[in-house]
Amino acid sequence: MAESGCCPPMDLFRSEPMQLVRLIIPVESSHLTVSYLGDLGFIQFKDLNAEKSPFQRTYATQIKRCGEMARKLRFFREQMKKVDVVPSTVPSERIDIDLDNLEVKLGELEAEMIEVNANNEKLQRSYNELLEYELILQKAGEFFYSAQSDAMAQQRETQERRTDEGSINSPLLLDQEMSTDSSKVVKLGFISGLVPRDKSMAFERILFRATRGNVLLKQGAVENPVTDPVLGEKVDKNVFVIFYSGERAKTKILKICEAFGANRYPFPDDLGKRGQMITEVSGSISELKATIDVGMLHRDSLLKNVSYHYEQWNLLVKKEKSIYHTLNMLSIDVTKKCLVAEGWSPIFASKQVQDALHRAALDSNSQVGSIFQVLHTRESPPTYFRTNKFNSAFQEIVDAYGVAKYQEANPGVYTIVTFPFLFAVMFGDWGHGICLLLGTLFFILREKKLSSQKLGDITEMTFGGRYVILLMSLFSIYTGLVYNEFFSVPFELFGRSAYACRGPSCSDSTTAGLIKVRDAYPFGVDPKWHGTRSELPFLNSLKMKMSILIGVAQMNLGIILSYFNAKFFKNSVNVWFQFVPQMLFLNCLFGYLSVLIIVKWCTGSKADLYHLMIYMFLSPTDDLGENQLFAGQKTLQIVLLLLALVAVPWMLLPKPFILKKQFQDRHQGQSYQLLQSADDSLEVDAHGSHDGHEEFEFSEVFVHQLIHTIEFVLGAVSNTASYLRLWALSLAHSELSTVFYEKVLLLAWGFNNVIILIVGIIVFICATVGVLLVMETLSAFLHALRLHWVEFQNKFYEGDGYKFHPFSFALMDEDDE
Amino acid sequence: MYGFEALTFNIHGGYLEAIVRGHRSGLLTAADYNNLCQCETLEDIKMHLSATEYGPYLQNEPSPLHTTTIVEKCTLKLVDEYKHMLCQATEPLSTFLEYITYGHMIDNVVLIVTGTLHERDVNELLEKCHPLGMFDSIASLAVAQNMRELYRLVLVDTPLAPYFSECITSEDLDDMNIEIMRNTLYKAYLEDFYKFCKKLGGATAEIMSDLLAFEADRRAVNITINSIGTELTRDDRRKLYSNFGLLYPYGHEELAVCEDIDQVRAAMEKYPPYQSIFAKISYGESQMLDKAFYEEEVKRLCLAFEQQFHFAVFFAYVRLREQEIRNLMWISECVAQNQKSRVHDSVVFIF
């Protein structure tokens, strides 16, 4: 492993070695130092002020300032969105603007912007009011006009009929005219205005109730939404004219209008004035329009100006904010001359970190350099893997279960191969594999373009796992070739089939009619098996045995990894009392089964392996009879069985007792050490780790070991059985694709009808893509995931570590997106 | 009493219950309050709140902050959450959710009517109204001159209409009448809500009747204390008490004749749940009573979350959030007016 110098570094096998470092940074260079460390991105700072609330910390005011600037930038962003100015993504020439200048500049810009906006708003408001007024003049004019014509008609009618009954239809205007004619004193007033359409019903109702029906309300819908002067939004509105009598009614109506947000406008009585008003209003509308346009132009140029620098400023503010957040985590020295930082950093990066510290000290003209110290601690460091775009997705698969303990053997490395392989065992079809391959190649080839843009939820996920899918598809092409499946159609790719008909009469496609005429088919399953009556029994037996072989191999790998873990952490107890008995137990039972399977394949024996395994437990001394595969098998079986039986108490009993003894020894030793090296213990205490002082509860440890033993013994059986899912899913996949091929495509073909054929092809494609390519991929993926998480990783993986989150500007951007 | 509502509750209510429990876990904790109480300026409060769920609501506020802005934004959050839940709710949960807002509606009506009586501007009053208790024609309340008009003009369209039937008189509106109107409305509202919850049955009925009974009893005590020394007759006072709750009916008889705070105390101490509340405050004091009641209410509301498959969590959540907003308002006021020594006087910790 790592200690051998011959091999290239194997970063992924174990997480990076980390160290706890303490940096003592002079105050004057602290900002620059943190900024350089952020560029470097190799230190995870510890919060040394956890007990202080955010606003009690040293740099709270600076953070507040940054927050304020961020708010201003958001304000500009919103403004830009309103007028569709896109912030230029191309960084303009790097102008070095520091925070203070930026703050002043942003303040000025915001003030200007607000003023411009306020002016524009005022203008816009009066503009909208005028527009509404114009609308009223037109619409209400129509009311009056139609009322007048009604009135004329009415008058004509009354003249004709010589009766003076006021019908309901007679307009009030007529009444008014008539009442003035007949010199009655009732004076009708009217109010006109606009009311939002959704409120108009309630408006009418309330008006009616408030005046006890003594009003006449005329409403007309305005076709296009009108911009409300107060809200500044487009609203559907109705023009209304209310006729009323009396002062009290008027005050009530005015109040109601106000309550409903109805804008009232004066409306001239006679026609001439109205025309004059209309021209006046439209004149001032065009005037205002010009003024507003000028204002808009000013605003746009202002925003354009901002948009050039927007991204740069935004980045700067974000960086500054994160720098001050980090500075807040550092503890300040009593003399207030230097800041003390503690954090985790990978050992390989210490040179770079020291370099950054040095540069920062130089660049900030600090008289004293920063001090870089490595601290010793018993705290468990964070787990850090240096992944690249290819293996990060596989590491994610492992991390989703649990982040590896510090320096624990990383299953991620093996997952890169085993995961796609187990997937492919379940998804064996080279046609489907090619479809997957094309899909993932699309993502990989357009990687540069796609990674810079925002994708949908599912696309994002697929894109993230593109290299996993690439390997999955390549492996499934391989297993597809082994299974000889191409959309369930067999091909004679590697030579001719080994079987041929005995005579011309064997058309019923059974093995009975076929004889072996050549050597065995060189690679994979012979195409002739396809469609025969014995296809299923043959493939089932093959795949079932293969699943067990794969499963036993992978579980053995897991147990072997536990050996490397034990060796790495120098835990010989685990080697002798966990690894050895576990190996023995698993291999005596299922390792033996695997051997039997291989022997049976090689010799072509007809022994019944179920029977063999079952009677190995039930009556080990019985004669094997026809199930005997090799000489001395009975003795071997008895020995294996005894070994497996011995392995169980071996796993269970010694370890707790040894742990107890070790604890007692250590405890005695420790009381000596405490006296001798008081300084060290103080140091340890200061970092809050009390691992050495934990209580040793024997019963707890014993129960724990008991549970582990039971779990392993039962797990050996159930996990092996669990690997049979490889067979089951592979069977399901091939059967489904057979069904779609035969019952849809061939059936449609048989009709000799173009339309049915087209429909059949469409159904076939939909079923293949929807069920086989999408759902089956998902289910095979999930089962492969389970086999890794449960059956493989429970043999060795603790997964109780925590991830390394360095302070890094590059990561900060990702978080924000 | 228990049916099989747990079997089917999740069909319609499961999603929203999950939502409301999620919101509940966003309530400020004692640690948050401790930090907030140490704040020196309103900026500090904003900074602290921006780390909580209030963050998105406060982050775009320009710098000179006011207490009203903070409270307004916090209320906005509650309103947004409430509206979201109301949109998603189906019957009978949607009715239940609407019932929760009627109390605010009553308060808003009273606010507007009192305001217009004192010649305030309607828009100014509207700003002060609780957004949960808004209805369409609320602004036109200003037109009404007396109760009958109030009812006929505006309230007949609102859900409050049925509650009004008891207090329609053609008397002019004055402060006293309005206060009586408020209490009568509240009484009718609580009784109606109580009946509705009883009708729902199951755990909802059980928990809600407990919470509403507490609310009714608290109102009864408040009415009694506030009406001591006014011209309200004993019979009138008796009429304002809701006809359910722990105090109903014998406690009401006693409360109706109380003449000072110590008599109220004597009447209440006969009821064990209230004994502990009154035990906290010294004789002759009524200032701290509010806080004691609030604390008890918060305790009961928190308990509502201990059971699953019922609607009371929605009620409890809205109430707890309101309490939190009251707390924030008090803290902000204390900070703004440099009265930090009094910060703890009225803050009720929720968790």
CA B279 to chain A, closest CA, distance in angstroms equals 35
**Would the CA dihedral through B145, B148, B153, B155 be positive or negative?**
positive
The answer to whether the CB atoms of B50 and A259 lie below 8 A apart is: no
CB atoms closer than 10 angstroms to residue A395: 21
Is the CB of B53 inside 8 Å of chain A's CB atoms? no
pLDDT at A686: 41
Burial of A472 by CB count in 10 Å (0-12 exposed, 13-18 middle, 19+ buried)? buried
Q: What's the Rg (C-alpha) of chain A? A: 42
pLDDT at B213: 93
pTM of the model: 0.72
pLDDT at A681: 42
pLDDT at A733: 93
The answer to whether the CB atoms of A258 and B139 lie below 8 A apart is: yes
pLDDT at A621: 84
CA B281 to chain A, closest CA, distance in angstroms equals 33
The answer to whether the CB atoms of A202 and B137 lie below 8 A apart is: yes
What residues of chain A lie within 8 A of the CB of B122, using their CB?
A: 255, 258-259
The answer to whether the CB atoms of B153 and A56 lie below 8 A apart is: no
pLDDT at A669: 62
A197 or B172, higher pLDDT: A197
The answer to whether the CB atoms of B122 and A258 lie below 8 A apart is: yes
Least confident of A248-252, B39-43, B260-264: A248-252
- Nearest residue on chain B to A110, judged by CA atoms? B62
- Written as one string, the DSSP assignment of A686-732 is HTT--GGG----HHHHHHHHHHHHHHHHHHHHHHHHHTTHHHHHHHH
Is the CB of B137 inside 8 Å of chain A's CB atoms? yes
pLDDT at A546: 93
Which ranges of chain A have pLDDT less than 50?
1-7, 163-164, 166, 174-184, 674-692, 817
Is the CB of B145 inside 8 Å of chain A's CB atoms? no
Contacts of the segment A184-189: beta carbons below 8 A, 24+ positions apart: A186/A245, A187/A245, A188/A243, A188/A244, A188/A245, A189/A243, A189/A244, A189/A245, A189/A250
CA B189 to chain A, closest CA, distance in angstroms equals 24
* Residue B34 confidence (pLDDT) above 80: yes
A228 or B184, higher pLDDT: B184
pLDDT at A3: 42
CA B39 to chain A, closest CA, distance in angstroms equals 8
Show which residues on chain A lie within 8 Å of chain B, measured between beta carbons: 53-56, 60, 63-64, 67-68, 71, 74-75, 199, 202, 205-206, 209-210, 252, 255-256, 258-260
Tokens describing residue B78: 């509650």
d(CA A574, CA A544): 33
pLDDT at A684: 42
Is the CB of B60 inside 8 Å of chain A's CB atoms? yes
* Among B44, B136, B152, beta carbon nearest to A199: B136
* Residues in a beta bridge with A234: A227
d(CA B29, CA B119): 42
ipTM of the complex: 0.70
Is the CB of B30 inside 8 Å of chain A's CB atoms? no
pLDDT tens by residue, A446-486: 888 888 777 788 888 888 889 999 999 999 999 999 999 89
- Written as one string, the DSSP assignment of A583-629 is HHHHIIIIIHHHHHHHHHHHHT----HHHHHHHHHH-TTS--GGG--
CA A462 to chain B, closest CA, distance in angstroms equals 28
pLDDT band at B138 (very low <50, low <70, confident <90, very high): confident
Within 269-308 of B, beta carbons closer than 8 Å to A belong to: none
Is the CB of B124 inside 8 Å of chain A's CB atoms? no
The answer to whether the CB atoms of A210 and B142 lie below 8 A apart is: no
| β-strands A215-221, A226-227 pairing | unpaired
Is the CB of B122 inside 8 Å of chain A's CB atoms? yes
pLDDT at A629: 84
Q: Which of A244-248, B9-13, B123-127 has the highest mean pLDDT?
A: B9-13
d(CA A732, CA A729): 5
The answer to whether the CB atoms of B48 and A256 lie below 8 A apart is: no
The answer to whether the CB atoms of A258 and B143 lie below 8 A apart is: no
d(CA A503, CA B274): 102
* Among B43, B60, B141, beta carbon nearest to A64: B43
* Residues in a beta bridge with A188: A245
Percent of chain B's residues with pLDDT above 70: 95
- Residue A229's H or E segment, with its range, is none
Apex A235 CA angle, A229 and A238, nearest 5? 95
